[in-house]
Amino acid sequence: MSRLVMKFGGTSVANLERIRRVAKRVGVEVANGHEVIVVVSAMSGKTNELVGWVRETSPLYDAREYDAVVSSGENVTAGLLALVLQENGIDARSWQGWQVPVKTTSAHGSARIEEIPSANLDAKFSEGMKVAVVAGFQGISPEGRITTLGRGGSDTTAVAFAAAFDAVRCDIYTDVDGVYTTDPRVASKARKLDKIAFEEMLELASLGAKVLQTRSVELAMRYNVRLRVLSSFEEMSDNAGTLVCPEEDIMESNVVSGVAFSRDEAQMTLVSVADRPGVSAAIFGPLAEAGIVVDMIVQNIAEDGRTDMTFSLPVDQVDRARTAMEGAKAAGAINFHDLIADTEVAKVSVVGIGMRSHAGVAAQMFAALRDYGVNIKVITTSEIKISVLIDRKFMELAVQALHDVFELEKV
């Protein structure tokens, strides 16, 4: 019998009425002949509430107890859904991470899945269980402690189960009905995609699209797990949502598939840094040690043995980055004349596997931004994406302009 993984996010299980709707959807798949593994998040808002309680109790909290508390939201949802399924006449059982078990690393709060043995669930399926309701976002460390996978970790849990149990597909139910060419709230012409390649989805997720967690897409691509993103509030149909799949499953791709953006960006420049071997390591080593996520990097042409180094980073990490750089300077590791931070920038990117075989995408993108008076501060590229850093006040204008110039509203 085929296995299907269904994942439901917090808004899909926000109350008992919605949990009953989820149970009906699961029941349809059971009737279609699937053995179903359902991965659930905590009810909408519950994880934030639990995190708040931990921080209020202890500002310098024990990460192991943090995981014990915060993981409980998913346990409640799993138990409630299993009860509703049982009331509907479906043989279902809830499973916490340690019961499966979902074996993870010991990095509390950001653990990574290492293995999901199938024996326990396989045994129950063979005994007649039709649905295993698994608490997402959690696992168990080698020391036997509960761990959590980081925010959005239920997506990763679902994909990992689909890979471990050789599922025909992993359906991710959210409050949106698929993956769009860009955020419809920014560009009214945004169009829902029927299919998108793993690589494109990974780029969009990493560049600011909130539909799927980046780690879940990485895992799906590595194990070739077909994902379907769809809404738990829309009617079920065979062509609902967006299928995330291998590139070869897409007949013909547009040059550009989507426009992604991130508002919460900052730009930092170290002015007049010595241009010598090892200076980059001296800068980015301390930033890495401080947990700063650096993205776009530009080094100006050296003049008189000095250069400027510019990079982008999340806006909420600016103060930590400044402290790290001042510390490195005080220790004599680097020397710079000034440190300038611009916290009013945004990143806008175009993504598409069609860029591999089409020239002129960058020229078309830059011309469109020029025509709308948008100045580019930093540029980075990869094989299937082009990203620019611009003033944040022009972000929505830039997204709309690029969506129009690449005619993404057309099928």
Residues 307-336 pLDDT 10s: 899 999 999 999 999 999 999 999 998 999
CATH fold for the domain made of 259-405: VC0802-like (3.30.2130)
Return the pLDDT at 213. Answer: 81
Cα 309 to its chain centre, rounded Å, is 29
pLDDT band, residue 80 (cuts 50/70/90): very high
pTM for the full predicted model? 0.83
Domain ranges in the chain are 3-175, 259-405
Does 180 carry a binding-site annotation? yes
Does 192 carry a binding-site annotation? no
pLDDT at 301 > cutoff 80: no
Among 20-24, 184-188, 247-251, whose mean pLDDT is lowest?
247-251
User: Pick the residue with more confidence: 389 or 176?
Assistant: 389
Does 347 carry a binding-site annotation? no
Q: What is the mean pLDDT of residues 342-349?
A: 95
- Kindly indicate whether the domain formed by 3-175 is annotated with CATH number 3.40.1160.10: yes
pLDDT at 252 > cutoff 80: no
Return the pLDDT at 318. Answer: 95
What residues form DSSP beta bridges with 86?
A: none
Dihedral sign for Cα atoms in the order 161, 162, 164, 167: positive
| Other Cβ atoms within 10 Å of 192 Cβ, number | 15
Helix (H) or strand (E) holding 122: helix 119-126
Instruction: Look at residue 326 and give its three-state secondary structure.
Output: helix
Does 74 carry a binding-site annotation? yes
| Mean pLDDT over each residue of the chain, to the nearest integer | 92
Does 305 carry a binding-site annotation? no
Does 89 carry a binding-site annotation? no
Residues 119-148 pLDDT 10s: 999 999 999 999 999 999 999 999 999 999
CA distances from 79 to 254, 274, 409 (A): 44, 60, 42
What residues form DSSP beta bridges with 245?
A: 197
Of 330, 39, 47, which is closest to residue 160 (Cα–Cα)?
Answer: 39
Task: Choose from 203-217, 252-266, 311-325 the range with maximum mean pLDDT.
Answer: 311-325
| Nearest-angstrom CA–CA distance, 335 and 160 | 46
Return the pLDDT at 238. Answer: 67
Return the pLDDT at 92. Answer: 97
Q: What is the mean pLDDT of residues 251-280?
A: 88
Question: What share of the chain in percent tops pLDDT 90?
Answer: 75
pLDDT at 89 > cutoff 90: yes
74 with 43: CB under 8 angstroms? Answer: no
Residues 66-78 pLDDT 10s: 999 999 999 999 9
Return the pLDDT at 208. Answer: 67
- The 8-class DSSP code of residue 180 comes to B
Residues 362-393 pLDDT 10s: 999 999 999 999 999 999 998 899 999 999 99
User: Pick the residue with more confidence: 150 or 211?
Assistant: 150
